[in-house]
């Protein structure tokens, strides 16, 4: 296993953070007229529940793959 490159790690963290912010903001903007699901708007489920889970999974996969290099 090689050492972790801090520059690549920082760039990856910034990219994931910016991606998360874009997805989080896009939910209410793009899905404002979407139907309700379990009493909450669909954009809530996608931007506040699904987006953080998806980005945590992406980060975990990315870090695991970086460790295998």
Provide the residue range defining the domain that includes 43: 6-62
Length of the chain: 69
Instruction: Tell me, yes or no, whether 35 lies in a domain.
Output: yes
- Report, in angstroms and rounded to the nearest whole number, the Rg of the chain calculated over CA atoms: 16
The three-class DSSP label of residue 33 is coil
Distance CA 29, CA 43 (A): 8
Instruction: Tell me, yes or no, whether 45 lies in a domain.
Output: yes
Instruction: Tell me, yes or no, whether 1 lies in a domain.
Output: no
Q: What is the pLDDT of residues 29-46, one digit of tens each?
A: 777 777 887 888 877 787
Instruction: Tell me, yes or no, whether 22 lies in a domain.
Output: yes
Instruction: Tell me, yes or no, whether 68 lies in a domain.
Output: no
Mean pLDDT for 15-34 is: 79
**pTM score, whole prediction:** 0.55
| Cα 45 → chain centroid | 13
Tokens matching residue 7: 């520059």
């Amino acid at each position: 296993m090689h050492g972790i490159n801090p520059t690549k790690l920082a760039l990856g963290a910034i990219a994931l953070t910016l991606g998360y912010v874009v997805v989080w903001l896009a939910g209410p903007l793009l899905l404002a007229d979407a139907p309700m699901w379990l009493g909450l708007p669909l954009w809530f489920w996608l931007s506040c529940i699904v987006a953080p889970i998806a980005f945590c999974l992406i980060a975990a996969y990315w870090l695991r793959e970086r460790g295998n290099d």
